[in-house]
Structure formats: C-alpha cells, structure tokens
Chain A
C-alpha cells in the first residue's frame, strides 16, 4: 500500500468535506498497520488538526438556527464594512 499523499498547502481554505476525506485516508493508513512510528505520529498530528477543523465547522452550524431577511443581512454587511472602513 502506498502512503497517502499529504494535503498540499494552498491558498484555498480546507473544506469540511476535504478534511473528512483526508481523515478517512489517515485512519485507513493507520488501521493498515503499515505506518512506522514516525509516520504514525505525523498522521496523528495531522489528524488532530483536521478533527479540530471539522469540529469547528460543526460548531458553527450547531449554535441555533439564525433566520435573517436578505435586507437585514445586507444592512449587517454594510455596517460591518463601514466599521472596518472607519
């Protein structure tokens, strides 16, 4: 079995689905028992980072449904942009 390719560092933020897909690869590699100590520890470290990312994404959609009308969202964004600009 070949070692899974590490995720390249790009400017694009890692998506939830990319993170979960990579986690599946990592668990599969670890379960195979073919990874040495150094690789195992590196995969575990990478996996923990991805778990934190996934948990943060799930946390963001688990705080209670927030309903807005389009006008409210636009006003909020404009207020935010104004505050940033000021």
Chain B
C-alpha cells in the first residue's frame, strides 16, 4: 500500500485534533513515557525469556502485572544463577517506562525498562505451592495413585485435555505407535485459566464414574509454570489422589513439577509419552508373542504325546526282546558246554594214548628181558611162603574169636571165652576154661 502523501480528512463530527501520522504519535508517546518518573517496583518474576539482545519478563502480584525488559548485557552483569529468576521469584527492579515505537515491518512494544534488579526472595506463589506440596505429602496423598493397578492392555482410555490443543494429536500419535485401537474417551476442558482446575476435576470425576475407563491421561502441550498453575490446584490434586482410576499426568513442564505430577500414578514429559505409558504393551509385538507361545505349546504337547507313544511301544516290545535275549544266551551257553566237552574228551584220549604207550613199552620190556621168568618164579615162591595155609598144613592152628578176629594171646583167648580153632583140614569151636598157665 502506498504511503499517503497528504493528511486525510478527519472523522465528521469529531472535535478531537488530528488526524496525525501514527509514527509521529508513537515517537511522541515514547518520549512522553520516557519522561515519566523513574521508580523501583517489586513483585514476582514470571515468564522469563532470554533473547540475544534483551531479557523479557513479567512482574506480577495479586493486583496487576507489568511487562518488563532488560538489556542482555545488564542482565548478564548481575551474575545470577540459572534458577534465580525462576517463575515466582520475588525481585525488586529499578527503571522507567519505555516504548518501542515499531515501524511498518515491526510491532510496537510497551515495557518497563529495567536498569537494576535485586532478587528479594522466593515468590509467594511458589512458597504457597511448596507448602501445599508438603501438606499433601504429609497426608500420604502422593501414594494412593501409585498403588493402583495400571492394566498393561487397557480397553478404554480417558483423556482430559484442551479441545483445540496439539496434545490431542500427540495422544493419538502415541497410541498409534503402540498399535492400540481401543476406545478413546475425550473429556475436553480448559487447561490454562482460572476456570480450568474445577473443569478438569469434574472431567476426571465423570470419567471415573462411568466405570468403564481403565486409565486416564491428563495432557497439556506445555507452558510456563504460571500457565500450568491450574494443575497445582488443591481440590484437583486431592480428587486425583483419591480417584479409583490411575491417572497419567503430562502437563509438559521441564523445569518445575506441578502438584499433579506428584499425586498422579505417573508423570510424563509429553502427551505422546503419556499415551505410550497408558499402553505399556506394544500390541503388534504382543500378538506375535501370543502366537509364538501358542505354537510352542503345540510343540510341547505333540512332543509329550510322541514320547509317551514311543515309551509304550518300547514297553510292548520288551517281553519278546527279553525272551529272545535269554534264548540267545542259552544257545551260547550250550555251544560253550559242547566245546568244553569235546576239548576234555580229546585231552583224556591223548592222555590214555600216552599211558597205553607207556604200558605197552613196559610190557614189551618185561616180556623180552633175560631174567624175567626167573624173577617171576622167585616172586611166586616168596608169595607162597607167606601163605598161612601152608603153616596150618604143617600142624599149626589159627585161633579166632566169635566175630572172626584173630586171637593171638592167652589173655585175649580168656577174654573171648568161645574161640574157633582153625586147623589145616577144618575148624572146631572151643571154650576157654583152664587157669592161667604161664610158661
């Protein structure tokens, strides 16, 4: 659009001066504001942003707020730690009003230009938050949600979030990543202003009251602690602590914990992470695992039955195999006995042959010797000389007892009483009656 060369006519009926060019008015406004008194202010720091050239923050208290800015060099010269100006920090600042007039290509900005800053102490809001955190902790309200069972595979998931926020898409993306396609119940509520906490509380109670929701995700796409202060509401936190359904909080603040992070069953940094935590199981992997388990059960079942069948078959063959084994052993034993008999017969036959040979040789030697007949005759004579019959023939008698025992003394004859006297021709019985007649 071309810059107007001439001043346009004013509004009909208006008594106000002008119209003036806005640039000239902005410059006048800047000069006017810079001319105001320079003062010191105190309040709580919120929404600190550090850029390359300047540092921006809001100074707040219960009654109002002023946007402030400070040159980056001045800010760095303070040497404050990273957390010194966290949201809620109490500070005293010195400076004055300033106005950046802007241009056709840049936006104007009003701010209190800080030239000096001193940290005065912890902000009331953070102190209040800390007191509430300690109270809830002392009452044991951080524990009940952690004790609730969170199902690995919920069928219905409730989500409390802003209706138009990016968190909604992030939750769906997280669930899709898990392969989960169950029932998703949206409970939309404001997640930032002073109406947020009661609406979020009511949404949580309503979701739990349906009795069908397995887990609830409270999601917001991040923001400063001031923006998220509704998630530190005492009633909301007490409601969550006593809710019968597990709540996963994801209010997206990286440096400060809201109270809902403490009372919830689980706290996640992003809505996507919260959605994934609501479904710990990856459904596609789980389906594959269940299928694999089913196959392994089939394998074990078939293997067990096959093993039993093989055992039964082996047992049924056992008696026959045992008999065959015994038969083989008996045959073997018989073969061994026959072989041993044959070996013994052969041995004895050889020994007999050797004896016969020796006897033959002796007989031959005896039959063919020069003094053989004479020796035999002498032996016969000696044998005859010892024959008792020849002595009886010569008149001697042989005395025997009743039992036929030889009686060789008078004492033995007396003791025997009845004796038999055997002569050369015959035997007679006699009785011993006389006295001892010793020679």
Contact = CB atoms under 8 A, between A and B. Distances in A.
Interface string B283-301: 1001101100110111011
Interface of A: 15-17, 20, 23, 26-27, 30, 37, 40-41, 43-44, 47-48, 51, 54-55, 57-58, 60-70, 73-74, 77
A80 B165 CA distance: 32
B300 A51 contact: no
B290 A54 contact: yes
Interface in B13-61: none
Interface stretch (B94-102, B174-182, B368-376): B174-182
A54 B286 contact: yes
Contact of A70 (B180, B187, B281, B298): B187
A62 B287 contact: yes
Interface in B225-266: none
Contacts of B294: 48, 51
Of residues A26, A60, A61, which shows the largest number of chain B Cβ atoms within 10 Å of its Cβ? Answer: A61
B151 interface: yes
A16 B152 contact: yes
Contacts of B298: 44
Given A65-B181, A68-B186, A70-B187, A51 B297 contact: yes
Interface of B: 149, 151-155, 158, 172, 175-176, 179-188, 203, 206-207, 210, 212, 279, 281, 283, 286-287, 289-290, 293-294, 296-298, 300-301, 304-305, 307-308
Contacts of B188: 69
Nearest to A26: B297
Contact of A44 (B176, B287, B301): B301
B183 A66 contact: yes
Contacts of A44: 297-298, 300-301, 304
A10 to B, nearest CB: 14
Nearest to A15: B151
A15 B280 CA distance: 14
B182 to A, nearest CB: 4
Contacts of A69: 185-188
Given A15-B152, A30-B300, A44-B300, A67 B186 contact: yes
A64 B182 CA distance: 7
Contacts of A16: 151-153, 281
Contact of A37 (B151, B172, B283, B304): B304
Q: Is the interface of A mostly helix, strand, loop or mixed?
A: helix
Contacts of A43: 300
Contact of B210 (A51, A54, A61, A74): A74
Of residues B176, B212, B290, which shows the largest number of chain A Cβ atoms within 10 Å of its Cβ? Answer: B290
Contacts of A27: 293, 296-297
Contacts of B158: 70
Contacts of B281: 16
Contacts of B152: 15-17, 20
A65 B172 contact: yes
Contact of A77 (B182, B203, B210): B210
A37 B175 CA distance: 43
B290 A55 contact: yes
B265 to A, nearest CB: 15
B182 A23 contact: no
B153 A67 contact: no
Contacts of B210: 70, 73-74, 77
B283 A62 contact: yes
A74 B206 contact: yes
A27 B298 CA distance: 11
Contact of B183 (A55, A68, A77): A68
A66 B297 contact: no
B297 A65 contact: no
Nearest to A77: B210
10 smallest CB-CB distances across A and B, nearest first, come from: A61-B182, A17-B152, A40-B304, A44-B301, A16-B153, A70-B187, A30-B300, A47-B297, A66-B183, A51-B294
